[in-house]
Structure 1
Amino acid sequence: MAAAVGQAAPDFTLMASNQQQISLADFRGKNVVLYFYPKDMTPGCTTEACDFRDYHPEFSKLDTVVLGISPDDVKSHDKFTAKHELPFPLLADTDHSIAEAYGVWVLKKMYGREYMGIERTTFVIDKEGNIAKVWPKVKVKGHVQEVLQFIREEL
């Protein structure tokens, strides 16, 4: 069951690309953009991360933290962060337990093959720790601007 608008966001503590543990609870009092993506260094995921990077100053002005989560390990996140100069942490959900808690670890199909993986999804979590907005099955083009507009107008 996916985490839904109005619910308390499932808390977590994960290792991040900057070699520190990050908990969702650390950001109480700030808005959080929590985006789940399938894999480091892939075209769609790179575009999405770079879009969040390019708009990072705008999110910061709105008292909003950006966190990316994928099943990749910290070493992979470190390379991805360094290569694309990402100013926000990427979190390693290697056992996909957090993706499962948010309902984004799903059965996928590609080229006739079925497998479990991340459904690209973005959550906005308000300053009280509740889910304010969910974008399931994200299409990357224009998505970050849509998230930014929601935060400007709704939070």
Structure 2
Amino acid sequence: MILLGLKRVFHKNMGTVCLTKRGDDPNDFDEVRNSEGNLSEMSTDEPYSLNSEIKKGVVVIYIHPKFKECERVQELFRSINMKPIVVDVSKDSNPKKLLHSLKKLTKDPNPPYVFLTGKYFGGLNEIDAGIKNHTVQKIINKWLDSRVGFSEY
């Protein structure tokens, strides 16, 4: 039996193999095509330089539109009147390589990846908890105070 446009996906949580259409699997990211338009193998061996990227702002969030958690984490920052730098991984020139580097750096399998003051803080659950207990706000305020020259008495 030939199944066109379907692929096997092993679901870790259910321990089963399911057939899904291309695009249904959130881990199925955009294909890489070479200059002739042919599919090409992408090497993720070379590291993606994230050092300058994650230090662009006080809060930097790497998102992918296939993950609903990414929108939720942005809503959390809006709720505390923060406008983070948002990097859409899917719009990068090499999204698979960028995701591979983020996964390797953070040890988290999926976006969002949130960096506060140049350091990885976590994903949605960590940000939600950090905002509720004011850890996120304290980190941001401490960083801002150090840049402006203010300090607590």
TM range (shorter): 0.3 to 0.5
Normalising by structure 2, what TM-score?
0.41
